[in-house]
Amino acid sequence: MSLPAGIVSLPALAYTTDDLAAIMTACFEGYVVPMTMSGEAFNGRFRRENLDLQASRVFVEGERPVAIVLVVRRGWTARIGAMGIVTDFRSKGLGRSALQSVMDDLRKLGDRRLMLEVIDTNEPAVRLYKSLGFKIRRSLVGYRRPAGPGEGAESASLVEVDPLTVARAVASEGAPDLPWFMAPETLAACTAPARGLALGNEAFAIVEPAPQPNLLSLRTLVVARHARGRGMGRRMIASIAAAHPEQDLVISANFPEELATGFIARMGFTKTPISQFEMDLNLSA
């Protein structure tokens, strides 16, 4: 499928980080979850996710950017890190043709799998992705826990560790097949202000400031297999909460719905309104 007349595809590598942040902000105006992004925030987010600026594309009419597709890649697997279109070009077929052109490019590069996440209530986007061959793998949800130390708070027992140490613990001790945002490869790129935390050598977590000052993002938590069944996960949550008594703990909507549901509920977390579908496509078919 060719691009609409007058639309040209350019590599994102041709733009500065500040430019790409501004393009993203314009392309997500009025979206289900609008996005306002600075160059610093753009770099912080996509550096972790293995953004490929050559595979990522900006679609322009003349000199005006009208759509963006950001591609992150690891090995033979690629993922649509973000895709947006300016308001006056929506519902005109640009999304389909832009994504199809990116898919064709990834096939030529030899990638074998393409993934993405989409807010599950965004029915037009879900229909588009299904029509291009993507299938829903699972639902991803978010959680929030009100501020308060809770039972067993022992903030003094928390030790700050290298986030890379936590990422390695997730790789060796965590659940398999974690979503891209939670994968050890993504966590390994966490740097300050993200903080790695540990209780002994048995429980590990990464936390970082959320955009709102009253929230603290819990990026990951893992308990070593030899220490499970002894309440270490509960102690970790309680200790983090005690160390941040005025901040709610939040888990972004990238958490597999079926993972650790009992533990999450016992820790006082409740689901947040936004949830996503994780979808994928076999590029080799």
Q: Are residues 62 and 102 in the same domain?
A: yes
| pLDDT score recorded for residue 100 | 97
| pLDDT score recorded for residue 219 | 98
Residue 205: inside a domain: yes
Q: Which residues contact 59 (CB under 8 A, 6 or more apart)?
A: 3, 7, 8, 9, 10, 65, 66, 67, 68, 69, 94, 98
| pLDDT score recorded for residue 156 | 62
Q: Are residues 208 and 163 in the same domain?
A: yes
Q: Are residues 53 and 179 in the same domain?
A: no
pLDDT per residue, tens digit, the chain (285 aa), is 689 889 999 999 999 999 999 999 999 998 887 788 999 999 999 999 999 999 999 999 999 999 999 999 999 999 999 999 999 999 899 999 999 999 999 999 999 999 999 999 999 999 999 999 999 999 999 999 999 865 555 656 899 999 999 999 999 999 999 999 999 999 999 999 999 999 989 999 999 999 888 999 999 999 999 999 999 999 999 999 999 999 999 999 999 999 999 999 999 999 999 999 999 999 998
Q: Are residues 153 and 252 in the same domain?
A: yes
| pLDDT score recorded for residue 227 | 95
Q: Are residues 107 and 149 in the same domain?
A: no
Q: Are residues 94 and 193 in the same domain?
A: no
- The structure's pTM equals 0.94
| pLDDT score recorded for residue 177 | 95
Q: Are residues 256 and 156 in the same domain?
A: yes
Angle between helices 94-109 and 123-131 (to 10 degrees): 40
Residue 2: inside a domain: no
Provide the strand spans (E) within 15-99. 57-61, 64-74, 77-85
Which has the closest alpha carbon to 234: 203, 259, 208, 206? 203
| pLDDT score recorded for residue 59 | 98
Residue 118: inside a domain: no
End position of a domain, from candidates 92, 111, 130: 111
What is the full DSSP assignment across 122-184? -HHHHHHHHHTT-EEEEEEEEEEE-SS--TT--GGG-EEE-HHHHHHHHHHHS-SS--GGGSH
Query: ω before 193 within 30° of 0 (cis)?
Result: yes
End position of a domain, from candidates 70, 91, 111: 111
Residue 101: inside a domain: yes
Q: Are residues 255 and 205 in the same domain?
A: yes
| pLDDT score recorded for residue 229 | 94
| pLDDT score recorded for residue 43 | 95
| pLDDT score recorded for residue 150 | 59
Q: Are residues 90 and 159 in the same domain?
A: no
| Phi, psi values for residue 163, rounded to 5° | -55, -30
End position of a domain, from candidates 71, 94, 111: 111
Residue 90: inside a domain: yes
| pLDDT score recorded for residue 157 | 86
Residue 82: inside a domain: yes
Q: Are residues 188 and 94 in the same domain?
A: no
Residue 79: inside a domain: yes
> Which helix (H) or strand (E) covers residue 19, if one does?
helix 17-27
Cα-Cα-Cα-Cα dihedral of 220, 225, 231, 233, to 10°? 0
Q: Residue 30 is part of a domain; what is its CATH number?
A: 3.40.630.30
CA distances from 191 to 137, 144, 167, 169, 264 (A): 30, 23, 11, 16, 26
3-state secondary structure of 226: helix
Give me the number of domains the chain comprises.
2
Q: Are residues 25 and 149 in the same domain?
A: no
Range of the domain at 227: 142-277
Q: Are residues 171 and 89 in the same domain?
A: no
Residue 58: inside a domain: yes
